[in-house]
Structure formats: structure tokens, C-alpha cells
């Protein structure tokens, strides 16, 4: 097997010759792993776009290679995303050449969108990561999952194609374990349970999600009580699916909306808190009391099991302490 890499017309050109021991492999499997950063997704895209030639002719991805076949593949160079790097401080729990894990603060949007052109996690990552690969043909950090603006906690971002597609596959197969802590209104009647209700776009309010959507996608949330405060409870939550606003919507359906959630029931629920001092403290919370506290997955390149944890941030922890003291004085 030989490989030549050159840059021409803003493309990387690779050429390989099939060795006798490689005969019979599928074309896409033969090419996977031949060059660092050359992912199977990139290869399949290149085949579909006619940028892979076998002995000078376009071919299908499922074709079996033969000894002495000459395989040529052209991969476009990554283009700048147009996003501006910003020197925003990050709490980084882990980093290597493939990925990094951050503890995202509440109030930070993950990626630019309407109304949030800057100040996002992506802008911060572009400043921090000088060795990014071209994920999806664009030079940017690979965001493979998200947290709402008002949700704090653990998030993993990819720095290479291999890591991006590897992590995306784990999320798709539900192999990534995510655990959250949520401070909710009320005192649950049981110590835990399972919420299984499809989540989709709200029938009338397009900015919200709902379990009453006609086109909802299956969603499963497991919850258990970690601590009870009478008027509120701290729940530990595992999710089997990752739908938009899933936890917030499911807990509202359960009858225990997240404290500070002004979208899904929390704004009205605070009026039921009779203690004026406690009600005032709850109103001070400027976001939903939801925190991604644990994250575990397999390293997409090495296969090593990785586990991370992040303690409750000060705003939620302080409110829990206040509630705890109220319980002691009863």
C-alpha cells in the first residue's frame, strides 16, 4: 500500500494501492483509518460526490477492492466557519488532541444563533483550540450535544473529525451516560420514577416544546429524590434520550417544574411558596435550577472509559443551603 498526500485546488489528494492481504474489503472500510483525520463519514460523502476513483473511475462505497487497485480520494480543505474567536474563560476538566470536556456556566449559549452572534461556547473554543480539524468541511469545534443557555454543567466537544463522528455515534446509540441535578417545586410522593412521553414542538407556541405535540419523538427520563425540602426537592436525573428541553418538559408533566424555569411552569408555581423570605430567594435565581453533573463515555479514538463530574454551581448550591436551614428550623 502506498499513499501520496498533496494539496491542489484547496483539496487534499490521497492515493493508495491495495495490498494482497486487503483484497475483498469494502471500499469505504479499506479507506477508513488510512490517514489521520480521514473519517468514514468523510469517505462516504466523497464517494457520493464522485471524489473517489478506483483505477481512474468513480465507484460505489460497497464495492470490494482487489489487489493492485489504485484508489484515489479527494477531500476538500476545511474552510473557515466565519465565526470569530473570543477570549472567554472556560472551565476545562479534560483536554487532549481529540476532545475536551468543559463545565459550561449558566447563561452561556452553546453555539451562535439568532440573537446570539457572539459570546458563545463555540466562540470561546475557537479561541482556545488552535489545532482544530475540519469537521464537516468547516473549521470549527465539533458540538455533538448541547445544553440550554440557562443550564450549567458538563459538555464534551470534539477537536477532530475522528472524535466528532465517534462521539456522534455514541450519542446516537445511547452509549453516553448523562446525569443531571434539578431543584424542583413540590414534594414528590415517591422516591423516584420513570417518565416516558414523546417530546416535540408545542402545538401553539413554536418557542416551546411539549408532550402534546403531534410529531413528538420518544423521550425517557428517570428521576429519583436526592433531598427533600418540603416546598421543593433536589432530584437526580438520568436521560435515555436527549430531546430539546426534555427534562424541563417532563418534570412539568410530573407536576414538579424546575425552580427558576420561567418557560415551563416555574414562574406561576413560585406564588404557592408561602414563606416570603424563601420566595424572595427563589426569585433571585436568574435561570432554571438544572445542572449536568456527571458525564461518561468512551474515548472515540482510544476507547478508554472516561467519567467526569461537576459540583452544583454556587447559585443552586446556595439556594439548597437556604432551603436546608429552613427545614432544620421547623
- The catalytically annotated residue of 28, 148, 161, 315 is 148
Does residue 87 fall inside a structural domain?
Answer: no
What's residue 149's pLDDT? 94
239 and 107 share one domain: yes
- Of the residues 21, 54, 77, the one at which a domain ends: 77
What's residue 63's pLDDT? 83
67 and 114 share one domain: no
Does residue 82 fall inside a structural domain?
Answer: no
Instruction: Please report, for residues 31, 96, 110, the alpha-carbon distance to residue 155 in angstroms, rounded to integers and kept in the order given.
Output: 31, 15, 9
C-alpha cell at 293: 453533573
CA dist 192 and 226 (Å) reads: 9
CATH of the domain at 51: 3.10.290.10
148 has catalytic annotation: yes
pLDDT of the chain along its 330 residues, tens only?
555 554 555 677 888 999 999 899 888 788 876 765 566 667 777 787 788 899 998 877 678 999 999 998 887 766 666 677 889 999 999 999 899 999 999 999 987 776 667 888 888 888 888 666 555 555 566 788 899 999 999 999 988 877 887 888 898 889 999 999 999 999 999 999 999 999 999 988 878 999 988 889 999 999 999 999 999 999 999 999 989 999 999 999 999 999 999 999 877 888 888 899 999 999 999 999 999 999 999 999 999 999 999 999 999 999 999 999 988 877
The number of residues in the chain equals 330
Q: Residue 190 forms beta bridges with which residues?
A: none
260 and 118 share one domain: yes
66 and 96 share one domain: no
191 and 49 share one domain: no
Does residue 233 fall inside a structural domain?
Answer: yes
What's residue 258's pLDDT? 97
Does residue 84 fall inside a structural domain?
Answer: no
What's residue 2's pLDDT? 53
- Of the residues 77, 104, 132, the one at which a domain ends: 77
Q: What 3-state DSSP class applies to 82?
A: coil
Q: Are 247 and 172 in contact (CB under 8 A)?
A: no
Does residue 98 fall inside a structural domain?
Answer: yes
CATH of the domain at 193: 3.30.2350.10
Residue 58 has φ and ψ, to the nearest 5°, of: -60, 150
Residue 218 has φ and ψ, to the nearest 5°, of: -55, 140
138 and 29 share one domain: no
Place of cell 474552510: 79
pTM of the model: 0.77
Residue 174 has φ and ψ, to the nearest 5°, of: 60, 40
Q: Which domain holds residue 72?
A: 3-77
66 and 144 share one domain: no
Does residue 312 fall inside a structural domain?
Answer: yes
105 and 233 share one domain: yes
Q: How many domains are contained in the chain?
A: 2
CA dist 71 and 54 (Å) reads: 5
Does residue 180 fall inside a structural domain?
Answer: yes
Which ranges in the chain belong to alpha helices (H)? Answer: 27-31, 40-48, 121-128, 161-172, 246-254, 266-269, 276-284, 314-328
Residue 282 has φ and ψ, to the nearest 5°, of: -65, -35
What's residue 80's pLDDT? 61
Place of cell 439548597: 320
- Of the residues 38, 54, 77, the one at which a domain ends: 77
Q: N- to C-terminal Cα distance for the chain?
A: 77
Amino acid at each position: 500500500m502506498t499513499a501520496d498526500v498533496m494539496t491542489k485546488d484547496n483539496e487534499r489528494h490521497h492515493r493508495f494501492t491495495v495490498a494482497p492481504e486487503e483484497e475483498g474489503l469494502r471500499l469505504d472500510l479499506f479507506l477508513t483509518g488510512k490517514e489521520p483525520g480521514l473519517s468514514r463519514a468523510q469517505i462516504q460523502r466523497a464517494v457520493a460526490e464522485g471524489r473517489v476513483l478506483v483505477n481512474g473511475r468513480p465507484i460505489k462505497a460497497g464495492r470490494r477492492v482487489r489487489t493492485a487497485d489504485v484508489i484515489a480520494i479527494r477531500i476538500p480543505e476545511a474552510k473557515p466557519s466565519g465565526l470569530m474567536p473570543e477570549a472567554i474563560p472556560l472551565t476545562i476538566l479534560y483536554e487532549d488532541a481529540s476532545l475536551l470536556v468543559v463545565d459550561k456556566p449558566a447563561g452561556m449559549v452553546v453555539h451562535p444563533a439568532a440573537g446570539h452572534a457572539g459570546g458563545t461556547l463555540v466562540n470561546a473554543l475557537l479561541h482556545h483550540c488552535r489545532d482544530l480539524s475540519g469537521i464537516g468541511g468547516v473549521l470549527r469545534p465539533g458540538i455533538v450535544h448541547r445544553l440550554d443557555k440557562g443550564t450549567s454543567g458538563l459538555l464534551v466537544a470534539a477537536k477532530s473529525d475522528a472524535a466528532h463522528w465517534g462521539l456522534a455515534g455514541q450519542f446516537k446509540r445511547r452509549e453516553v451516560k448523562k446525569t443531571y441535578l434539578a431543584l424542583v417545586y413540590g414534594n414528590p410522593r415517591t422516591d423516584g420514577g420513570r417518565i416516558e412521553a414523546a417530546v416535540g414542538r408545542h402545538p401553539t407556541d413554536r418557542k416551546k416544546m411539549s408532550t402534546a405535540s403531534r410529531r413528538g419523538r420518544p423521550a425517557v427520563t428517570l428521576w429519583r429524590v436526592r433531598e427533600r425540602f418540603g416546598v421543593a426537592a433536589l432530584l437526580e436525573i438520568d436521560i435515555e434520550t436527549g430531546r430539546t428541553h426534555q427534562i424541563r418538559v417532563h418534570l412539568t408533566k410530573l407536576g414538579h417544574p424546575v425552580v427558576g424555569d420561567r418557560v415551563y411552569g416555574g414562574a406561576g408555581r413560585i406564588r404557592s411558596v408561602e414563606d416570603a423570605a424563601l420566595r424572595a430567594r427563589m426569585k433571585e435565581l436568574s435561570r432554571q435550577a438544572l445542572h449536568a453533573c456527571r458525564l461518561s463515555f468512551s474515548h472515540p479514538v482510544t476507547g478508554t472509559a472516561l467519567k467526569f463530574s461537576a459540583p452544583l454551581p454556587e447559585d443552586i448550591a446556595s439556594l439548597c443551603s437556604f432551603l436546608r436551614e429552613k427545614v432544620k428550623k421547623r
